[in-house]
A and B are shown apart, each in its own frame.
Chain A
Amino acid sequence: MALAETISRKIHKLGLVPKLIKLLPIVSILLAISSISWILILPLNGNYRNTYISENALMPSQVTSFFRESEWNIVRGYREEISKLENQSIEIRNNQLEKWVNDLGLVTAYHNNGKFNDTLYAIMHAPRGDDTEAMVLAIPWETSDNEYNEGGMALAIALSRYFSKMSIWSKNIIIVFVENNQFPLRSWVEAYHTSLEETAGSIEAAIVLEYGKNGDYFDYYELIYEGLNGQLPNLDLLNTVNLIGYHEGLHCAIQDTPSTELVKDTYFTRLRTLIRGIIALTLTGIKPGGGCEAFSGWQIQAFTIKARGTKGPHDVTQFGRLVDSTFRSVNNLLEKFHQSFFFYLMLSKNHFVSIGTYLPSAVLMAIAFTFSSLGTILISGLEINSFISHSAKILTIFVIIEIICFILSLTLPLIKVDISILLIILSFIPLGLKSSSSSSFKLNKTTSFGLVALSLFFISLLITALLIVHFSLALLLGLFTLPLTFLAQPKPKLKTIICLLISNPFFIISIAGQDIFLGLVTSWHDLQCWTWFVVSLGWYSAWLGVAVGTLSGDFTVQDTTKKQQ
């Protein structure tokens, strides 16, 4: 006790408490800076790890793939026929494909998604398997680069033919021929788990295959792996395909690595991959992606592979072997993927940081907001008791804001007006609160400080809640709303307006582009991606809270140190 007492006396004598309170905004900014620096030091040597296969059963590259030159002719034949179908309707294309796969002995069925053309899918029941698990090979008619996916289709048919000759399958194989890899694919996956009659057991892994008009040769393959809502495929699956690719002598690009830097491994390439990965994961479902995100949410590990280049040293059968060997590995599994990481950030195809290493970054960000919220209350110069007596009022205002945001979140996807006008209204109108606010509408000092503090604390809670399930979104949310913490000091009004403007979600979205907004508002309905609700109910409501508090209330800071002494 004596020690604690001595320390407390000392603190009181030196007047540390007011000094610390004064330092709170700086501490908050320092925490935010350290959060960003944490991300920046991850690509340094020693902070990341090399990938490895964790699941013993996978045994990638331990089996000879016979999808070689003899199958090349078959791929060529099918491609020739498929290229003739390019100008036909999807219905005619599907009929032709159905005939081919039926000849191979596969069961076929259609899925009607009510919006696009029907999706054809074929099931190869494993001849000696127990018919309870499946692997999916999905091939969109149109690649994500809007190219006719003739190579991918030809490969898929040739692979089906090759697979159906083998007796070693323990899992069923489903081949999905889908119009494109966005809504139609998602709709099929959803229907597979809810309404489809022809099914083949729970899907363990899925590959989306894109091989456009690259011809017989390609340079390298691109791997896309982000899922919806921060979900990622088990790292073992990515390692499996990358190891197989390595043994085939193929180069791999992740996160849009330029073709000239595929083998480059420096701090900056790793940092670039890391940052692009964070942004890509945040935007998955909002921006058209690789298609693998369509499988998110049903414990399906999925990735997309795309062939890049047309000259390269590698031939089309190697791309097929990538699929074949991966399926052979997945086929060896006895349990669901569970050994390796589900939460990770890739730095290159064979370097990664796991959740334990990167998580402190978002934690620091959340603490920065908590400190800022605390600082807002403490530097107001008001008694704590007055906040308690006004708590009902503060909460009522915040709930009203939340309700407004809730109505917005439901109605905005339905409104069909010019989006740019809508965005401007949502960004600027609240800023006009200041000028229009009458005396009857004006909040008193306690309410306005309380509302700002509550909103900042709300952001802190939001980051904390998101940081495990969707780290990328949590981190970016923290970064974008960071200017809101600068308001907690006496500032010129212009600065307040600028800070509010640049942290407004709709302002940022309108800068990022209308497609992002459209993707955002439709992503819940189309893909069950809940980023829209985080933005509208979390980010925008907190922003409104801060805006109302600062602009239509008495948000002036007195010299608190003098008063307390």
Chain B
Amino acid sequence: MKIQLNIVLVTIFSILTVFVRGDINVVNTEEADHIISKSKHTNNWAVLVSTSRFWFNYRHMANVLSLYRTVKRLGIPDSQIILMLSDDIACNPRNAFPGTVFNNNNQAIDVYGDEVEVDYRGYEVTVENFIRLLTDRWDPDHPRSKRLLTDENSNIFIYLTGHGGNEFLKFQDAEEIGAYDIADAFEQMYEKKRYNEIFFMIDTCQANTMYERLYSPNILAVGSSKLDESSYSHHSDMDIGVAVIDRFTYYTLEFLEKIDKDSKQTMDKLFNEYTYENVHSNPGIRYDLFNRNASEVLLTDFFGNVQNVVVEDEGEEDILYITNHDERGKLVQFNQEHNKSDESYQIDFGYEDVESSQQITPMTANFIRGLGLVTGAVVVGLWFVST
């Protein structure tokens, strides 16, 4: 009896708290416009590939693991990240710090960490697997966790690092992928409606040659260096005895470290980091396939996951439309100051912010507060009585 009563009380309390506290996340529609992406995607995926093996390519592993950490931090779940790497660094006998991979000589962050889920490791990192992954052509028994299960609403971030040359990228000293192969794979993805937008980032020598053959729409591409140009490492760790990160990736990460899940930073700010002084090569950006301006593209469109949901009033059958309009299809006016030209409405559960929310029964704020206090007093009284 006592227990049941307690449960009832807790439930009432929690309901009350919502009423009393109000909603701190309220935004007006103008702000919502900025927050809500113009990308029209509903889910985010990341494909992160380090194509090299061997101890002296430590930095490529650090590159890709750093980006893995970043996209995870910005909200893409492991189930939507495909990580391909040779994974021969952390447990390499030459590693002075077994089980770790650092991306800076300050050794502040062990990017190998505890929660790294590698989807394709060692000799599974092949051109064939990469193309199969992109185009999703697998045996029927291929595990779903290792597939890129995207649809026409998916934004995909694809990051490649390794040793490249003019229109090719080396996969583990054994084979190469050509710029045409990637371009054709993307075209297949487009035809099969496997993406909404792709952000293609590549950090290799002569990287820009890899995106020049792309021809499918809605792809934004950046590379670290132009034709006949090398990409360089940023610095070495003298205790580990190898270069730990590449310049291009270093400056990408340095910028991304400053943003969080709700960041409204746009892509052009990131691109501003890609100067010759920083990267020591000429990074390239390809806009022509992409129909948005970089200044309108949020970084979280690709590096983060979809966080903000908006219900637009274009559809006529949705619940918001029905509650907001009368039978003749006329907008119901709840408040005179309400902005009529709003394109979208924020669903709001607060009682105070009347301008963008509606209430089921007409009550003033003071009345609700009073009611809350009285109910609280009654509940406390009941509790005393019961003990």
Residues of A within 8 A of B (CB): 56-57, 59, 62-64, 126-130, 166-170, 328, 331-332, 334
Determine whether the beta carbon of A129 is less than 8 Å from that of B93. Answer: yes
CA distance A167 to B240 in the complex (A): 12
B22 within 8 A of A: no
Ranked nearest first, the 6 interchain pairs of A and B with the lowest CB-CB distance are A63-B241, A128-B93, A170-B93, A64-B238, A57-B56, A129-B93
Of the listed stretches B94-102, B199-207, B266-274, chain A binds: B94-102
Judge whether A59 and B56 touch: CB under 8 Å: yes
Contacts of B239 in A (CB 8 A): 63-64
Q: Is the CB of B56 within 8 A of A331?
A: no
Cβ B241 vs Cβ A169 within 8 A: no
Asked whether, in the complex, the Cβ of B94 is within 8 Å of the Cβ of A331, the reply is yes
Is the CB–CB distance between A62 and B236 below 8 Å? yes
Whether A59 contacts B93 by the Cβ 8 Å rule is no
Give every chain B residue within 8 A of A64 (Cβ-Cβ).
Answer: 238-239, 241
Determine if A167 and B98 form an interchain contact, defined as CB atoms under 8 angstroms apart: yes
Pick from B92, B96, B242: contact of A59, CB under 8 Å: B242
23 contacts between A and B (CB under 8 A): A56-B56, A57-B55, A57-B56, A59-B56, A59-B242, A62-B236, A62-B238, A62-B241, A63-B239, A63-B241, A64-B238, A64-B239, A64-B241, A127-B93, A128-B93, A129-B93, A166-B96, A168-B94, A168-B95, A168-B96, A170-B93, A332-B241, A334-B54
Residues of B within 8 A of A328 (CB): 241
Please give, as numbers and ranges, the residues of chain A lying within 8 Å of B94 by CB-CB distance.
168, 170, 331-332
* Chain B residues within CB distance 8 Å of chain A: 54-56, 92-96, 98, 236, 238-243
Given contacts A57-B55, A167-B98, contact A62 B242 (CB under 8 A): yes
Q: Nearest Cβ distance between residue B87 and chain A, in whole angstroms?
A: 16
Q: Are B93 and A168 in contact (CB under 8 A)?
A: yes
> In the complex, A168 Cα to B78 Cα: how many Å?
32
Report how far A166 CA is from B94 CA in the complex, Å: 10
Give the distance to chain B from A299, nearest Cβ to Cβ, in Å: 21
Instruction: Give the shortest distance, in Å, between A49 (CB) and chain B (any CB).
Output: 20
User: Is B56 a contact partner of A332 (Cβ separation < 8 A)?
Assistant: yes
Q: Which residues of A contact B243 (CB under 8 A)?
A: 62
Residue among A127, A130, A331 facing the most chain B CB atoms (10 A cut-off) = A331
Determine if B56 and A167 form an interchain contact, defined as CB atoms under 8 angstroms apart.
no
15 further A-B contacts with Cβ under 8 Å, apart from A63-B238, A130-B93, A168-B95, are: A59-B56, A62-B236, A62-B238, A63-B239, A126-B93, A127-B93, A166-B96, A167-B93, A168-B94, A169-B93, A170-B92, A328-B241, A331-B94, A332-B241, A334-B55
Return B165 CB to nearest CB of chain A, in Å: 14
Chain B hits for A59, CB < 8 A: 56, 241-242
On chain B, the residues within 8 Å of A332 by CB distance are 55-56, 94, 241
- Residues on B with C-beta less than 8 A from A130 are 93
Q: Bound complex: CA of A64 vs CA of B55, how far in Å?
A: 17
User: A167 to B55, Cβ gap below 8 A?
Assistant: no
A329–chain B nearest beta-carbon distance, Å? 9
Q: How far is the CB of B240 from chain A (nearest CB, A)?
A: 7
In the complex, which residue of chain B has the Cβ closest to the Cβ of A334? B54
Closest-CB distance, B139 to chain A (whole angstroms): 32
The smallest beta-carbon distance between B327 and chain A, in angstroms, is 75
Q: Which residue on B lies nearest to A129, using beta carbons?
A: B93
For B93, what are the chain A residues with a Cβ–Cβ distance below 8 Å? 126-130, 167-170
Of chain A, the residue at the smallest CB distance from B240 is A63
Which residues on the B side are within 8 Å of A129 (C-beta)?
Answer: 93
A64 vs B236: C-alpha distance when bound (angstroms): 11
Whole-angstrom CA separation of A315 from B238 in the bound complex: 22
Alpha-carbon gap, A332 to B243, bound state (A) = 13
Nearest B residue (CB) for A328: B241
**Chain A min CB distance to B98 (Å):** 7
Contacts of B242 in A (CB 8 A): 59, 62
> What is the minimal beta-carbon distance from A334 to any residue of chain B, in angstroms?
5
A523 CB to nearest B CB, Å: 39
Which residue in chain B gives the minimum CB-CB distance to A325?
B241
A127 CA to B96 CA, complexed, in Å: 12
Residue in chain B with minimal CB distance to A63: B241
Considering the chains assembled together, what is the distance between the CA atoms of A130 and B241 in angstroms? 20
Quick one: closest B residue to A331, CB to CB?
A: B94
Closest B residue to A126 by beta carbon equals: B93
